Amino acid sequence: MKKILVLCTGNSCRSQLAEGFLRHFAGERAEIYSAGIEKHGVNPKAVAVMAESGIDISAHTSNLLDEYKAIDFDYLITVCDHARESCPLFITDATRFHFNFPDPAKATGTPEEIFDEFRNVRDQIKTYCADFAKKYLSDN
């Protein structure tokens, strides 16, 4: 079984969304973890937009990268440039992937505009995770 770590700055939005979708698309084919360079807590808007997609991440926790030093990961996915730049601090032989998704927590505007940005980022991450699972976790 593959082990995947999704890494972001605060482990509050993007990495949480990716963890939820990767768990969904990978099923029993992988163990999925997420962490941050810092720990900001799971963003309630991330929980809400995932619930709209039928995925419950309300029990997720915000974790620091150091908590996973002892795990031998197969894949490391960074979902923001800050995390990628900090990755050399995390020694691993894992195959590394990177995609810099916008940070929905930085969205401004009306409450609906902010939620729309969370939905937009959620949908980008969903597509990325579906493609990743198909390419790297397929049974073929």
Helix/strand/coil (H/E/C) assignment for every residue in the chain: CEEEEEEECCCCCHHHHHHHHHHHHHHHHEEEEEEECCCCCCCHHHHHHHHHCCCCCCCCCCCEHHHHCCCCCCEEEECCHHHHHHHHHCCCCCEEEECCCCCHHHCCCCHHHHHHHHHHHHHHHHHHHHHHHHHHCCCC
Whether 13 is catalytic is no
- Residue, of 54 and 139, whose pLDDT is higher: 54
Average pLDDT over residues 96-125: 95
In CATH terms, the fold of domain 2-136 is Rossmann fold (3.40.50)
Catalytic residue among 6, 32, 46, 87: 87
Whether 80 is catalytic is yes
Give the pLDDT score at 124. 98
The mean pLDDT value of the chain amounts to 91
| Residue boundaries of the structural domains of the chain | 2-136
For residue range 44-79, what is the model confidence (pLDDT) as tens digits?
A: 999 999 999 999 999 999 999 889 988 999 999 999
For residue range 74-94, what is the model confidence (pLDDT) as tens digits?
A: 999 999 877 666 655 556 788
